[in-house]
Structure 1
């Protein structure tokens, strides 16, 4: 699902390279002035296929088929007994702690961008801990108003926030992760919002990570980061683990300082067949994400370089600050009834707060003293939940029954204050006090019952079926300013109930000891959140983050996914997985902006959208050398007629219109080499093709004109290098270079208006512009890792 963002909400992003036209049109001045980026990767699939073939050829000459290794993965938030990964009827990606450490990634979403098939990050927020992650075009984003389509679980707790289904990546305890699993498609086992896939994160405990582990990093742009963990095993099966992390940076862009601190503690006991643990997670972050910036203005199709071309690190306006706090307490327990049966239970409470401060262009600038606005929001979310499951191996069947209940309360308020821009495009508050423009209190409850079974029909043949029943209730009580009278008015309370029954069926067939083919058909749903139901009236648009209105009913999204592929282990230490997929959303929920710089818009159902493509990934280990390569092809399109408000424009949508911001082709390659005992070096490369610009999906620059101008954010390639040295066991020195070639690139583009000239001076004259989200320049980081 692709959301339309206003440039004021998207201007917290990073750009790819300045705009490119299609081959039909001459290059723009900006494109000509910029260093050339990677081509559009027309031959990318063939190149990666050749690389895969070359990598496979050598080991196949020297090795015979490897004995099959059983890798067990969980196929629901409560993993139960787990299922042999090779019997699953769909692709999966599993990453262990050692791989995360070796990659030396900045953070979890950076790792996924570099190493996981189908993953991409649009840096719309402009902060390294506020990523807009997409998987096969579906999003798990910290951006309020984005059309979310991925569910994320931490030790069985769903961490998509109830207000907008956003994922606050800055509140994920990456220092405590033991493993992560990526499961694709509309998997009903993972409940609502699992339209394009699910991420299951599992943390360590005193049994799995005993001893002390500590890490210190520092480097470019004032980056400093520290994390540590202590795991202990005590008498009588007791164990404990405690850890924390602290992060701070000045940021490579102007006015982009950020900081974060998290702590996690666990205590548990392994007592015969019973294991339980109690965990507490707390965190606080203050992040600044100054995203999109005007790269070029345009008039009658002629483009002139603007602020981004003048200064790479410039921001459009500031401040743009987000503060998140989190407190979470969870209890997990499992009990083995016998050798083939296990029961699990989960209970949690979760309390989060979010406040934002945004300096924006005034909707109606009266004079130079009142040409801007300070918009502040405050959100509080309190939730609790229960889950239980029973898993059993019984003859040819391995089944699991489960139930989940998630309840949340939300309170939200928004204030506006008149202001004025200073010389740095910062907004200074005016003399009048901030005024309340909207508030909402809401409640949601989701009940789910599911059953799944993997049935061995014959040796090497496994049929997996899943069925889930969902019942969700969403209610809200809104208070907002009447457009005619300017008076705050309370709207009638709204209550909506959604039910669905979602099935899945898939077959995995082994064609030998090393080759398996599979296919899967699944359906799942997503219900509108409080923010979407509260902002669904085109006659009363709202601001994101959100001024809300009493609005029409929105239908729940229905997603159907079909995929087929193969898994092949051609030799010892090698794995190849290839998947073809097609996901279709009906009644997709999209946000149509009515004011780019003012962030006004509304949510609406769109009849049909489609994501289809291919993911291929290869991993290999040859003695001291580890290799990986992958390619992803994605065709994300609207499949119905309609008119969507995209930033400043009414975009005419027809079947086949491509979604903006998603590259059609991606490739990634990586290598690690243990040069000598204690020494290792590594590199990874990400290649992305060009992508469309939001607000230009129909090829027009302005409403009502006839000339077609297909704008593209250029494709690019990024090279990252790393090295490590272990002078003695338990001590490791690390060095990492991101964007080693200092490639100037952008990750997102949108049409909007600017009121500043190319040097950033306020003019008050609205000019049409292409805004882009800048990518980070070359950066160097050093680190120290201790374990004992």
Structure 2
């Protein structure tokens, strides 16, 4: 496993849910097209499209989102022209057309300002960066985006991480990405929020099945079925199964999830209960040093690196229409999760011996037989319990669209890390030493309770001018009990009132201009609070220590821009933004050991612009986006590294892993009535290497400065055989481009793949996240029934 080095951070908005007849009547005054779509059973939050096409007929009209949800629960919406920001949406039809490998890959291909870092080397363990903020499955990585599924926050209890394998991709109906530090979405929505809503038997009746096979032993099956049962009852079920051998050594993975929902809709009341279960076994082989990557790109640094997860979530959603303008909504959930990670890593004692014996091979402690075990087998297990209850009242009138809500969340996370002495085999696999027994060296129990109150009002000042004022008050209490290595019992409380203010105005030319200012917060997680002492550093994601206090992160965002729509053929968006984080939480390398700890940094900043274009040219649909992003430190300071000298940063020093420029161009051409051809080009500029942000190491090796920029091409094609059957194919990385999505400087004890012995010099090398080679994929899709 490559040395751990957490990198940058990430965003959201929920689409409107299906409304009752009374609610639809109100929306008719705002957009008759939206009413038509809802009456036809279209996904909520999406405006009327072209008439329902036969299966296989691609709809080329732009999907205009006429309503968006400014509050956490999926039961309240405002006109899109009133929303003061560049919110982005997609539907299940967009995902089906893109044929992307999974949700994170789809977001990286289609959403403005979204960048994917493949740090772990697994398709279901990718880091999503949005405007420089991160949504990651890596425990200990600083998180900055809130993820919601049907109004339930999915960020984990221990480290705000997200388990991508627990997202029911076959059941997703709409995806919405909301920018900025929107306080209404609660903790961790520093750079934005990502909201997912699921299908139901009422909105998606019929049967769908999708089977695909590809290179490197990849196979995936998605199935779903929905039905309206009568008397308002409806049911839906969806499941996903996935496996692959992986393109790198020892990288086989598998996962499965099952989602089921049952509910009932009457004139004034709607409710549903859903159950989501998942399990996975993922190999994430991490970063690879240049001396190995150059000759064997599919190699691993050390092994094993296996993560197994299980989860179960039960959700209740309900709404009741009090009258034509007022509605009550309720969401309750319970979630259980278990994760176990097994990794083979370089022993800290062995690394200390190598560093101490450089140039001193004659010392007694540096003799070949005197060195300690070269490896350790680390096993970390996490058990989580999450419970929550949210309720809100909303009012949708001619002048005021207001919401008032409250939320309570309770979570418990227990963490344990065991370590066993081991030695590396010739192929760098850690094997337990004979007679060695595992020992527990870290154990933590963390409990967090959060109470929130929030309110928002969108006031119609003029026929097409809106003022939105919002605020959310959060108070969180964390109780952490450490039993190993040093017993401690600590309690922390964080409170904050976060406001936001936005203004939007639609001109007669079809141009809507907007501006907003908002504030959000993120409280330190249990793993950050448990690893914040430089004198008692820890190895992430597997070590915890008693800790000093960490301050909560406060993020303030200003954004302005516009969106212009010309008829049904052209849509153009522009947004300029700046987000400042106060007391940002960074991972530092300890100056007295090769381990690390978390600490506050005075100020960081993400600022830039994003441009988006959608253009229909007859049978061709084009989509393009450009992002310019500066993610920088904004204070003088030092970042500790495994090396003797720290990284010295100053205002303007770029953060690692974030490209300055990114560009995406996608097109789909309906060549005939049944054949569609498409492709995507992804362009990324270079990215700074972690551990060398100040460039001090570049003199000894220019590669330590950055990873190179790259251009990737993906192609796709589909043939609608008849009304039910579709055949399709996809090729990723068509030209088999060698590229890297992330880099960090580290000490390499396996230069060229061979373990160093005491007395040898330990080189500093660039460790990279190698991008996947060319991948072929073919599939068959079946659809029956439908709306």
Aligned pair partner of 2:380 in 373, 377, 381: 377
1:741 is matched with 735
Aligned pair partner of 1:102 in 66, 74, 97: 97
Change (3 A) 1:269 1:357: same
Is 2:288 the partner of 1:288?
no
1:454 is matched with 458
Aligned pair partner of 1:331 in 316, 337, 346: 316
1:593 is matched with 589
Q: 3-state DSSP class of the match of 2:528?
A: helix
2:526 is matched with 530
Please give the alpha-carbon distance, in whole angstroms, between the structure 1 residues aligned to 2:774 and 2:110: 19
Is 2:163 the partner of 1:168?
yes
Please give the alpha-carbon distance, in whole angstroms, between the structure 1 residues aligned to 2:179 and 2:594: 32
Alpha-carbon offset, residue 11 of structure 1: 11
Alpha-carbon offset, residue 762 of structure 1: 5.2
Alpha-carbon offset, residue 90 of structure 1: 0.7
Is 2:744 the partner of 1:750?
yes
Aligned pair partner of 1:494 in 490, 505, 511: 490
Could you state the TM-score of these two structures normalised by the residue count of structure 1? 0.88
Q: 3-state DSSP class of the match of 1:86?
A: helix
Please give the alpha-carbon distance, in whole angstroms, between the structure 2 residues aligned to 1:11 and 1:95: 30
Aligned pair partner of 2:426 in 423, 427, 431: 423
Aligned pair partner of 1:549 in 542, 545, 548: 545
* Aligned residues of 2:6 and 2:587 also touching (Cα < 8 A): no
* Aligned residues of 1:376 and 1:415 also touching (Cα < 8 A): yes
Alpha-carbon offset, residue 595 of structure 1: 8.6
Is 2:194 the partner of 1:199?
yes
Please give the alpha-carbon distance, in whole angstroms, between the structure 2 residues aligned to 1:763 and 1:11: 28
* Aligned residues of 1:12 and 1:125 also touching (Cα < 8 A): no
Change (3 A) 1:647 1:461: farther
2:445 is matched with 441
Please give the alpha-carbon distance, in whole angstroms, between the structure 1 residues aligned to 2:754 and 2:195: 44
* Aligned residues of 1:531 and 1:546 also touching (Cα < 8 A): no
Alpha-carbon offset, residue 339 of structure 1: 2.3
Point out which structure has higher relative CO (alpha carbons under 8 A, 6+ apart). 1
Alpha-carbon offset, residue 423 of structure 1: 1.4
Task: Give the number of equivalent residue pairs.
Answer: 710
2:614 is matched with 619
More divergent stretch after superposition (151-160 vs 503-512): 503-512
Alpha-carbon offset, residue 7 of structure 1: 4.5
Please give the alpha-carbon distance, in whole angstroms, between the structure 1 residues aligned to 2:777 and 2:536: 48
Change (3 A) 1:67 1:439: closer
* Aligned residues of 1:207 and 1:239 also touching (Cα < 8 A): yes
2:403 is matched with 400
Please give the alpha-carbon distance, in whole angstroms, between the structure 2 residues aligned to 1:332 and 1:11: 36
1:92 is matched with 87
Normalized per residue, which structure has more strand?
A: 1
Unmatched tracts of structure 1, length 5 or more: 1-5, 14-65, 296-305, 482-488
Could you state the TM-score of these two structures normalised by the residue count of structure 2? 0.88
Unmatched tracts of structure 2, length 5 or more: 9-60, 354-368
Change (3 A) 1:777 1:496: same
* Aligned residues of 2:704 and 2:745 also touching (Cα < 8 A): no
Please give the alpha-carbon distance, in whole angstroms, between the structure 1 residues aligned to 2:450 and 2:174: 27
Alpha-carbon offset, residue 752 of structure 1: 0.5
- Cα offsets for 1:352-390 (capped at 9, x unmatched): 001000001111127577211101101000010001111
Alignment RMSD, CA only? 2.1
Q: 3-state DSSP class of the match of 2:695?
A: coil
Alpha-carbon offset, residue 479 of structure 1: 1.9
Aligned pair partner of 1:673 in 662, 669, 673: 669
Change (3 A) 1:642 1:709: farther
1:224 is matched with 219
Q: 3-state DSSP class of the match of 1:73?
A: strand
2:338 is matched with 353
* Aligned residues of 2:374 and 2:424 also touching (Cα < 8 A): yes
Change (3 A) 1:739 1:10: farther
1:699 is matched with 695
1:258 is matched with 253
Q: Which structure 2 residues correspond to residues 550-565 of structure 1 after superposition, within 5 A?
A: 550-565=546-561
* Aligned residues of 1:8 and 1:599 also touching (Cα < 8 A): no
Q: 3-state DSSP class of the match of 1:695?
A: coil
2:633 is matched with 638
Which aligned segments of 4 or more residues in structure 1 are displaced greater than 6 angstroms?
705-710
Alpha-carbon offset, residue 83 of structure 1: 1.4
- Cα offsets for 1:253-288 (capped at 9, x unmatched): 011000001001111011221110000000000000
* Aligned residues of 1:369 and 1:419 also touching (Cα < 8 A): no
* Aligned residues of 1:592 and 1:647 also touching (Cα < 8 A): no
1:364 is matched with 349
Alpha-carbon offset, residue 768 of structure 1: 1.3
